[in-house]
Every structure is written in structure tokens, then in C-alpha cells.
Structure 1
Amino acid sequence: MTALLRRLPGSICSLWRCRAVTHNRTSHLIPRDGARLLPACSGSLTGYSRGQSRWQHTEAGGPVEVDLKRLEGEDDGIVEVLMCRHKARNALGHVFVSQMRELVSTLSNDSAVRVVVFRSLVPGVFCAGADLKERALMNNSESDLFVHGLRSLMTQIASLPTPTVAAMDGVALGGGLELALACDLRTAARSAQMGLIETTRGLLPGAGGSQRLPRTVGITLAKELIFTGRRVGGQTALEMGLVNRAVDQNQTGDAAYREALSLAREILPQAPIAVRMAKEAMNKGVEVDISSAMAIERMCYARVIPTRDRQEGMAAFIEKRAPWYAGE
């Protein structure tokens, strides 16, 4: 097999290795009760011992570029997606994208997840965007196919049933900002830099940015940002509505993550089915006319009426106590 790989073209060989990583990692799932750390993502992990790693580093599979951590105790239900491709500043390469896609697919079917926080373990970087070294090896059709895969990944993230928060403690450029835009909410350090810079590289945002940015900040401002390829800081991003919260950076370089975790903790106590249905109602409703949107709201509302959580909410109100929601 090794000899065969040496004779394959570079791009095909990369794709094969990408599939090999995915195949190997599926057989090394770590159960929620297994407190095992991940060497490839060990880096600077503030409070990592409170959670549990999903993927195990294996010799055959190579390094893990995207990992997952489940928080415990009072934070049970918050899951963190950890981007840890240190050498390439979390650039969106074949392996990174493949691992992210598999992980997000797993989260979409996990009813225990209530909030997902996307964060980087690479100091000063959220995601630097496309892996230009890999992209340079692709022909036109391969490049188009890969970008289509990126667009599909961002749609997959946006379609997660639970609320998602992107914590931008550093640069988020091109595809990196598109990843953040695919999340429901965004926090940023004021020192962070973000922008859809594709026009400065002879391209346009191709992983959903040309559609999600106008829906986030408005069409005229989005056009200005994309036409100029301008980068903006965290405070400016807050003022234009690109992020929900902006905070001063701290000494450990994870202020945006801390703010994202605080935001996740505000969501966590709420009825999970109601939150999911509210997300579905808003996401689908914003794409249609108001009359159709009202029908969508009615359908989503009808799905929470028979839940035990709704009964618990009513009982807690009458009994003047805090509700406890089981997600049923």
C-alpha cells in the first residue's frame, strides 16, 4: 500500500489519507465516562480536565486537528469543538474539514447536547481560512469540488439543532469568518481581526459568506466589506452586528472563549426542546414571507405543547421555583 501511495498524484494521495484518518477515527470513539486526554491537542487547555476528549490520537490515523470536549457538572450539556491545527493556524485543509464534518455529524444526533461552542486552541488565531498550500496543488475542478465541500460543511454547522457559539480570540479570515457566520452567535476579543478577504485573492466568499454576511449585517454593509476585503476588529464587529459580544483580551488569550462560555451558561438552563424549536422557527422563518413564517412558528410551537418540559415550566411558575428541564 505504501508503494502504491508513492505513485499516486499528490492531491489523490491527500484525499486517500483524509479518508484513512476518518475511517480510523470512527473505531476509536471515547465514551463520555472515559477521561482520556488527547496528545495532539494538549497545547494550552484552560480547564481541560473538566471535560472529556472525544477522539483518541492514533499512530495510524495521524494527528487530530479538530477535537471535542464535553463539559461536566453544572456545565453538563455544553460541548466544545476544539480547533487545534497548530502548524497551519487552523487552515481549512482536507483532514481538518473531514474531521470537522464527522464531528458535527455526531453532534447533530446527540440529544444530550444543549449548546455547542466553537473555539481555537491555537494562540491568536480562530481560523486563518483556506489552506493555500493544499489549494495550490488542485486543478480547477478539484478546487471547485473542495469549495463545494466547505460550503456543505458550513451548512452542516448552521443546521445543528442546538444553539452554537463561535469564540473568536484571534484572526478569523475568509473561510474562518464563514465558519463563525455559520454559528448562531459570536463572541470576539476586541483585539481580534476578522474579514471576508477573498476579493484580495481574486476570489469571492464561497463557503456561504456571500449569503450569511448580508443576512447578519445588512446588504449594503456586507457589500462594502466583501468588495474591499476589509478586516475589522472586535469592537467594530460588535457595532455593526457581526458579533454579539466583544470583550478586552485577557492574559491567557481566551477572553472571547470565556464570554462564549458565559453565554452558553445562560442558554443551558432553558428548556432544550423549546430552544431547538425556537432556532428552527427563526432559521426557517427568516427565509420566507411573514405569512409563511407564522405558519412555521405555529408548527414549531405545536411540537413543544405535549412535552414534559412545558408542563414542568408551568408547574415551576405556579410553585414559584426554578424549573428543571429534562429535554422530554
Structure 2
Amino acid sequence: MKESRLSFVSYEISDFISTLTIDHPPLNVLTDELLNELDSAIDAVLGYDACRVLIIRAKGEKAFVAGADINQFSTLDEVSGKNLVEKGKMIFDKLAGAPFPVICAINGLALGGGLELALACDIRIAEQKAKMGFPETGLGVLPGYGGTQRLPRLISVGKAKELIFSGVIISAEEAYENGLVEKVVSNGESLKESLVLAEKIAGKAPIAVSKAKATIDRGFAVSLAEGQEIETRSFVDLCQTEDLKEGVNAFGEKRRAVFIGK
């Protein structure tokens, strides 16, 4: 097992599952320093070839991530505003583009940049007490770390507009009903549930899971016909792997497959 701790972010790599933890009490606000540490931690996990699943979590009783550092907004101009959002986009895009699934354990408030961080993950598991929303229009701005683009791709366009225009904060249950999160669990259980799911995913053929993620993400941005072509190419690529042979043999022998990622 490998562990590393910075001032506000830490990560742990254990077997095939990595966990990245944000710890900036009391609200885990995304300051510039925290973003820098988040970027470094993501790079470290991406550099670990054996990783099959990453879990993003945060410490604290009240918030997952309550948003960006609002104190910096009053001094923003055209140049600094562009630099601010492009930095956040770069980090979140890097996370979204990870070759393995990323699960977000939402244990409390996920507002603004915090919700955008969750949206950059593949799967979101929220605790009952969690609340989510984009309050940016009440500050005179809009979600700038990808929120206006990822939210309507995940839920209905109309609902995305309602949430972003109004800045309303919704419950975990309403988020689930609208497809914003995949599961709602009891308070204090988001990490445990994320680990259960991560272990299920980590037990599957890693190249197949990685190809499935890439195929879904790439296919979503093109026509159905083009998506079908992407799917076919991915399937053909997998036909050449040792993991395919292992999976078929294990099925026939009624045993658990042991995938090596080749």
C-alpha cells in the first residue's frame, strides 16, 4: 500500500483501488492551493498502472466540497477569470479522462465547484444528508469548471437549466430522482458503499472496463451510427486480450476469473 499526504489532500493506493481524500475543514473549499494539491494527487494516481478504480471522498461532517474560494471573485477580471476557470477545467477534465472508473462519495454539501468535481466522476454515491446545487448566478457568475456542460449531459436539459438559473439547492433524494446521483445511502455510509462498488469493478477485466468507459464517453458525443463504430472497434480490440481468454475459461470452469490486464 502506498500513501501520501499533502496539506489538504491525501491519497492511498491499495491493490487495485485508490482513494483520494480532501481535508480542508470546515467546508473543504477549493482554494488555489487545494486545487494544486488535487492536481498533484490525481497525477500520482494516474501514474499508478495497477489502479482499476479511484474513489474521491472528503473528510468532515458538513460538506463534501462547498465550492470555490468566493473571496477571490471580487478581484477577478478578464484575464484572471479565464485563468481561474481554465485551471479548474484542466484538473477536472484530467479526472474525467482517467482510464479507469472514478466514484465520488458525497458525504455532505456539494455546491458549485464541489458539484462540478462530482460531475467529473463517473458514478456518484450520496449520503441522505447531502445537498447539491449551483449557487453561482446569485454571485453574478455561472458554473465555470464544466458545470454548464456536464450537468445537461447527465440529466435533462430543462432540469439542468432550472438548477443553474435558480441556484436552488436540492436534497440527495431529489438528486437521485433526477439522475444526478446513482445511489443514496445512510449518513456515514458513502465511503463504505463506494468501496463495495469499487471492489466489484476491480474484479472485472480492467481493459474491458477501461474500454467500456472510453466507448461510452466518446460515443455520447457523436451520432448513434458513429458510436456503434466506436463500440465495434473497442470490442475487436478486446478480442485480442489474454483477459478475454481467462474470462471465458473461468466461466467454463465455474471459477472466479483472475484478470491481469493484458
TM-score (norm 2): 0.95
Tell me what 2:183 maps to: 245
Matched, 1:321 2:252: no
Distance 2:77 2:161 in 1: 29
8 Å CA contact 2:13–2:45 kept in 1: the answer is no
Distance 1:321 1:288 in 2: 39
Tell me what 1:294 maps to: 228
Matched, 1:68 2:18: no
Matched, 1:82 2:25: no
Displacement of 1:137 in angstroms is 4.4
1:247-273 per-position Cα deviation (integer Å, ceiling 9, x unaligned) = 121xxxx32122211211221211111
Displacement of 1:300 in angstroms is 1.5
Counterparts in 2 of 1:89-108, with a 5 A limit? 89-108=27-46
8 Å CA contact 1:107–1:160 kept in 2: the answer is no
Counterparts in 2 of 1:10-25, with a 5 A limit? none
Counterparts in 2 of 1:225-264, with a 5 A limit? 225-249=163-187, 254-264=188-198
Tell me what 1:205 maps to: 143
1:92-134 per-position Cα deviation (integer Å, ceiling 9, x unaligned) = 1111111111221232232210110000012221101111123
Tell me what 1:305 maps to: 239
Aligned Cα root-mean-square deviation (Å): 1.4
Tell me what 1:4 maps to: none
SS in 1 for 2:56: strand
Counterparts in 2 of 1:8-157, with a 5 A limit? 32=1, 52-55=2-5, 64-71=7-14, 76-87=15-26, 89-157=27-95
Displacement of 1:138 in angstroms is 4.2
SS in 2 for 1:79: strand
> Of residues 101, 122, 140 in structure 2, which corresponds to 1:184?
122
Q: Given residue 25 of structure 2, which amino acid in structure 1 is its aligned partner?
A: H
Which moved further from structure 2: 278-287 or 254-263?
Answer: 254-263
Displacement of 1:237 in angstroms is 0.8
Distance 2:77 2:178 in 1: 37
Displacement of 1:239 in angstroms is 0.9
Distance 1:323 1:68 in 2: 28
SS in 2 for 1:327: coil
Displacement of 1:244 in angstroms is 0.4
Structure 2: stretches of 5+ with no match in the other structure: none
Q: Given residue 294 of structure 1, which amino acid in structure 2 is its aligned partner?
A: Q
Distance 2:73 2:43 in 1: 25
Q: Given residue 157 of structure 1, which amino acid in structure 2 is its aligned partner?
A: L
User: Runs of 4+ in structure 1 displaced over 3 angstroms?
Assistant: 134-140
Structure 1: stretches of 5+ with no match in the other structure: 1-31, 33-51, 58-63
Distance 2:87 2:19 in 1: 23
8 Å CA contact 1:196–1:226 kept in 2: the answer is yes
Tell me what 1:193 maps to: 131
Q: Given residue 104 of structure 1, which amino acid in structure 2 is its aligned partner?
A: I
Distance 1:294 1:106 in 2: 34
